[in-house]
Amino acid sequence: MSGLWRVTWRNLFARKLRLILSATAIVLGVAFVSGSFIFTDAMGGAFNGIIQGSTADVEVAPKGATDFDSQQDFRTIPASVAEELEQVPEAGSVHPFNQVLTLYVIGKDGKVVGGNGPPGLGITDVETRSVTGNPIVEYVDGEHPMGVDEVALDVDTAEKAGYGIGDTVRFVAPGDQPELSAEVVGLVEFGDGSLAGATLALFDARSMQELFFDGRDAYSGISLNAAEGVSQTELRDAVAPLLQGDVKARTGDAVVEAGEEGLEEILGFLNTFLLVFAAVAMVVGTYLIINTFSILVAQRSRELALLRAMGASRRQVNRSVLAEAFVVGLIGATLGLAVGYLLALGLRALFGIFGLDLSDADFPIAARTIAVSYGVGVIVTMIAAYLPARRASRIPPVAAMRDEVALPETSLRRRLIVGVVMVVAGVGLMIGGFAGEGSTGLLLIGLGMLSILVGVSLMSPVIGRPLVEGLGAAYRRVFGMVGGLAGQNALRNPRRTAATASALMIGLTLVALMSILGQSASASTDEAVESTLTSQFIVSNVIGSPFSTTVAEQIREVDGIETVAQFRQAFPEVGGSVAAVGSADPEDLTAALDLPMAAGLLSQLKPGTVFVNQAAAEGQGYAIGDTVKMKLQGATVPLKVAGVFPAGAALPADYLVTHDTFRKGGLTPLDSLLFIVKEDSASTAQIRTAVDEITKDLPTVTLKDPSEFAEEQKEQIALFLNMIYALLGLAVVIAVLGIVNTLALSVIERTREIGLLRAVGLSRRQLRRMIRLESVIVAVLGAVLGVVMGVAFGIALQRAIADQGVEVLSIPWIQLAVFVVLAALVGVLAAVLPARRAARLDVLKAISTQ
């Protein structure tokens, strides 16, 4: 080991505290990256288990009907087909089944179990084996259900709902009867692990048909297990000639593969979503690392100068700093992986709020996760340490002889110029992004914002100065000398203060931006509901899942009701990407909504035509007369554009078609929203009572007036916003750690000065206050810059998406002010440890420190 390496190495371990502090940023950033991967892997594993565990050797079904990502389909296969398949010698056993996806269990407490995203499965009780060799369901208790009054539940659901064998369970059902009840006679387990939050209810074959398929003797699909020695392909080839129309036979492997492809896409999206937040955390972390290394280099400048004086070359000094960074990166990445695992468990809890239950899932640490974690950890640390390392190598050897060493710094003027250039470039990118389309547009906007933020952080030593000086002056007035000292400390190293504040700025910019978009979306919802709804009531399902059409029929019978407009929803692929498509009866809709059409007439909505949301029309370039290709349950349906409706109306849809289009596409008719118009003479109170009576057994389906409806939608916005806050929270935590870190290092750096102050009579309490006040300055500077940037971005983004339904700009000033106040409190908290450390310094040792 050469002398220089030995110095590097000793340095690292002689200062364990500094090592840990500088590694924390890496740890947290890497944790987010690895946590995202571990979580999506766990989710993928769980869903792969479900796909494999529910697929037989060969599956026969109408094309696109029973896939992993299909919606409720009402197309069926006649029972006669199943009988014919029985005759095929290659088939060991034939298991025809019916399935519904929106049969929700109502728990003992009257609340729906799960149902916040995962499906409520109702399936025929069959003894199929899956491709894994296990039975799809296994009875752990009780017996098979017989008749419409008996049901078997999966054990997890039964436990969550509080039911045991012999209890009567109630359901919210999609069939003719909107609510059902049956006695629990059996408890089953899914053959291959967990259902990830989905619920499972089994009825016998005939009962499934009676309850949900109008009593027709027909099936959703037929699962086949092969006879001894028969392969999947042989079985499929034997079965295929017996099938007609769009009913197809596929091997289990093909079904699994298709399912996994669909899954990959969803997981890929989720992973990207999480990695965006990981990237934010990493950018914030980079500031922290740059700052830490700058301080470390500054503190060691005497020593580095000595090394140079003794003949170490610039390159050697440079490399010794980078080597230190490398080791810090390695250690940080290792710890980051471990913390990432914990974070993945945290994400499990976060997503659990949305109904995704991964409590039984494995959380694997894949080789890819390890590679990415180390790659990101080490590379980011080295990049962040590069500038401080270069500065270290510029320390002149003669500095070793001087008392105080000032590091060569780039001038503030150059930083200002670079900052301005980056801001201008960022604005350009953002403008380009707004003009662009889809994900490229988003990427450009993101890069533009990043460029602006980095530019502003470069300029912040200059633009933040008045604020810091102002706070310092206020401090001096309120806290006297201690306040004055704190203000001076924040000013003495403007770059350091600015870099520390910038980390917080980035976190808070995004938080403020999201709060503005959220508030604007809420206000736009109010506005849309107020200006477009002419109906007096809306019936909707709180958890957003569809409900039986019987509800609408029953409400039509109520005295004093003029119109009930049924609105249905599906999420098919349109022109290559998933979109929200709504269906409605145009006449009913006209009565319920005042839709100011941007093009075309509302009466033009006919079978075979489609209305396009203005935002979607602009995004995809659709005009009246164009053809839109909509993929409904496997079949691609061409539809002619007949109208464009404004975004931000009370209709949650990108496209609007007639009910007929959905029906032909094979989707089971289920309502998502009902708009109710009363006769002028009818009493609101009476109608309310009558409708409440109809929906009283459906805990999630309720009647609202327009403002309650708006509230319900705003709650969804708030829920989503809170999730984003939780994910951004980590970036803010890193930024706060940055303050702790910088303060702690400054305390070490100023040991002698602190000793001097204590020697001339500064009390511990005054010393702690001084450090606390300095911390508050940094935090408030970051918060103010962040809020200002957030408001600027918020206004820009709201303008950009105004035609996508966020028409109203609403800035939550009070909330933003609260952020700044919270940041000040955070500053106080961040100072606790450094202040305690400073107060504990032994005065005598402090003044004699070299």
Partner 1 sequence: MESAVAARTVDLCKVYGQGDAAVAALDHVSVDFYTGEFTAVMGPSGSGKSTLMHCMAGLDSPTTGQVFLGDVELSALNDKDLTRLRRDRIGFVFQAYNLVPTLTAQENVELPLSIAGKKPDKSWFDKVINTVGLGPRLHHRPNELSGGQQQRVAAARALISRPDIVFADEPTGNLDSVASAEVLGLLRTNVDEYQQTIVMVTHDPVAAAYTDRVIFLADGKAVRELRKPTVELIIEELRVLTAEAVAGTAAEA
Site string for partner 1, 214-253 (x = CB under 8 A): ----------------------------------------
Which of 407, 463, 467, 491 touches partner 1 (CB under 8 A)?
491
From the list 135-143, 432-440, 474-482, 604-612, the region that binds partner 1 by CB under 8 A is 474-482
| Residue carrying structure tokens 């401080």 | 388
Shorter beta-carbon distance to partner 1: residue 302 or 348: 302
- 473 binds partner 1 per the rule CB under 8 A: no
Q: Is 146 in the site for partner 1 (CB under 8 A)?
A: no
Nearest distance from C-beta of residue 406 to partner 1, angstroms: 9
For residue 485, state whether it binds partner 1 (rule: CB under 8 A): yes
- Check binding of 847 to partner 1 (CB under 8 A): yes
Q: How far apart are CA 695 and CA 179, in angstroms?
A: 9
Question: Which residues lie closer than 8 Å to 349 by C-beta, 6 or more apart?
Answer: none
CA dist., res. 559 & res. 597, Å (int) = 32
Cβ nearer to partner 1, comparing 400 with 485 = 485
> Is residue 766 within the footprint of partner 1 (CB under 8 A)?
yes
To partner 1, the closest distance from the beta carbon of 759 in angstroms equals 5
Out of 342, 435, 442, 481, point to the residue binding partner 1 (CB under 8 A): 481
Distance CA 78, CA 65 (A): 15
Residue 108 — φ and ψ, nearest 5°? -55, -30
DSSP-derived letter for residue 133 is S
**Residue 310 phi/psi, 5° resolution?**
-85, 0
Q: How far is the CB of 770 from partner 1 (least distance, A)?
A: 10
**Residue 299 contacts partner 1 per CB under 8 A:** no
Helix ranges restricted to H, 15-161: 16-53, 79-86, 155-161
Nearer to partner 1, 470 or 480 (CB): 480
Q: Which of 428, 480, 621, 638 binds partner 1 (CB under 8 A)?
A: 480
Q: How many CB atoms are located within 10 Å of the residue 818 CB? A: 12
Cα-based distances in Å from 64 to 60, 73, 637, 666 = 11, 9, 13, 9
For partner 1, the binding residue among 18, 659, 758, 768 (CB under 8 A) is: 758
Asked if 840 is part of the footprint of partner 1 (rule: CB under 8 A), the reply reads: no
Give the DSSP letter of residue 533. B
Q: Of 168 and 763, which has the nearer Cβ to partner 1?
A: 763
Part of the chain binding partner 1 (CB under 8 A), chosen from 153-161, 697-705, 775-783, 841-849: 841-849
492 interacts with partner 1 by CB under 8 A: yes
Residues 6+ apart with CB under 8 A from 12: 19, 324, 327, 328
**Interface pick for partner 1 out of 404, 681, 685, 814 (rule CB under 8 A):** 404
**Shortest CB 402 distance to partner 1, Å:** 11
Here the tokens at position 175 are 């069939």
Q: What is the largest CA-CA distance in the chain?
A: 101
Helix (H, G, I), strand (E, B) or coil at 490: helix
- Residue 481: which residues within 8 A CB-CB, separation 6 or more? none
Cα–Cα distances in Å, from 722 out to 7, 137, 351?
Answer: 48, 37, 12
474 binds partner 1, rule: CB under 8 A: no
Q: Is 756 in the site for partner 1 (CB under 8 A)?
A: yes
Which listed residue (401, 601, 719, 759) binds partner 1 by CB under 8 A?
A: 759
In angstroms, give the least distance from the CB of 755 to partner 1.
9
Structure tokens at 475: 């401090």
681 within 8 A of 608, measured Cβ to Cβ: no
Select the span of 159-167, 430-438, 717-725, 762-770 touching partner 1 (CB under 8 A): 762-770
Smallest separation (angstroms) from partner 1 to the CB of 771: 14
- Minimum CB separation from partner 1 for residue 359, in Å? 53
757 is a site residue for partner 1 (CB under 8 A): yes
444: amino acid identity, one letter? L
**773: Cα separation from own chain's centroid:** 36
Q: Which of 195, 389, 762, 781 binds partner 1 (CB under 8 A)?
A: 762
The torsion region of residue 780 among left (phi > 0), alpha (psi -120 to 50) and beta comes to alpha
- Which of these ranges, 394-402, 478-486, 494-502, 608-616, lies near partner 1 under the rule CB under 8 A? 478-486
Interface size with partner 1, residues (CB under 8 A): 26
Give the span between the Cα atoms of 841 and 850, in whole angstroms. Answer: 15
For residue 414, the minimal CB distance to partner 1 (Å) is 23
| Smallest distance, partner 1 to C-beta of residue 467, A | 18
C-beta closer to partner 1: residue 314 or 492: 492
Which residues, 6 or more positions from 230, have their beta carbon under 8 angstroms from its beta carbon?
A: 90, 92
CB of 14 to partner 1, least distance (A): 22
Helical (H) or strand (E) element with 463: helix 438-463
The one-letter code for the residue type at 605 is L
Q: Least distance to partner 1 from the beta carbon of 470, Å? A: 17
Q: Among residues 512, 464, 471, 467, which one has the least CA distance to residue 819?
A: 512
C-beta atoms surrounding 480 within 10 Å = 11
CA–CA gap between residue 108 and residue 761 (Å, rounded) = 68
The DSSP-derived string for 36-58 is: HHHHHHHHHHHHHHHHHHT--SE
Q: Which is nearer to partner 1, 485 or 589 (CB)?
A: 485
Judged by CB under 8 A, which stretch of 69-77, 127-135, 221-229, 840-848 contacts partner 1?
840-848
Kindly write down the DSSP assignment for every residue of 581-640, as one continuous string. EEEE-HHHHHHHB----SBS-GGG--TTEEEEEHHHHHHHT--TT-EEEEEETTEEEEEE
Q: How far is the CB of 843 from partner 1 (least distance, A)?
A: 5
Stretch that binds partner 1, among 276-284, 355-363, 476-484, 520-528 (CB under 8 A): 476-484
Please say which residue, 29 or 461, places its beta carbon nearer to partner 1: 461
Pick one of 763, 813, 821, 825: the residue that binds partner 1 (CB under 8 A): 763
**Cα 679–chain centre separation:** 43
Tallying the residues shown for the chain, one arrives at 850
Two tokens at 815? 């909330």
Beta bridge partners of 641: 610
Give the range of 57-65, 71-79, 489-497, 783-791 binding partner 1 by CB under 8 A.
489-497
CB of 15 to partner 1, least distance (A): 21
Residue 381's closest CA among 303, 321, 459?
Answer: 321
3-state DSSP call for residue 192?
coil
| Residue 482 interacts with partner 1 (CB under 8 A): yes or no | yes
Does 753 help bind partner 1 (rule: CB under 8 A)?
A: yes
Q: Which is nearer to partner 1, 117 or 484 (CB)?
A: 484
Nearer residue to partner 1 within complex by CB, 319 or 758: 758
Q: Lay out the site mask for partner 1 across 702-741 (x = CB under 8 A, - = otherwise).
A: ----------------------------------------
Nearer to partner 1, 493 or 536 (CB): 493
Can residue 282 be called a binding residue for partner 1 (CB under 8 A)? Answer: no
Q: Where does residue 478 rank: exposed (0-12), middle (13-18), buried (19+ CB within 10 A)? A: exposed
Closest contact distance (angstroms) between CB of 274 and partner 1 is: 44
Of 215 and 480, CB closest to partner 1: 480
Q: Is 488 in the site for partner 1 (CB under 8 A)?
A: yes
Residue 375 per-residue DSSP state: H
Task: Closer to partner 1 by CB, 394 or 764: give it.
Answer: 764
Residues at the interface with partner 1 (CB under 8 A): 403-404, 480-482, 484-485, 488-489, 491-492, 752-753, 756-764, 766, 843-844, 847
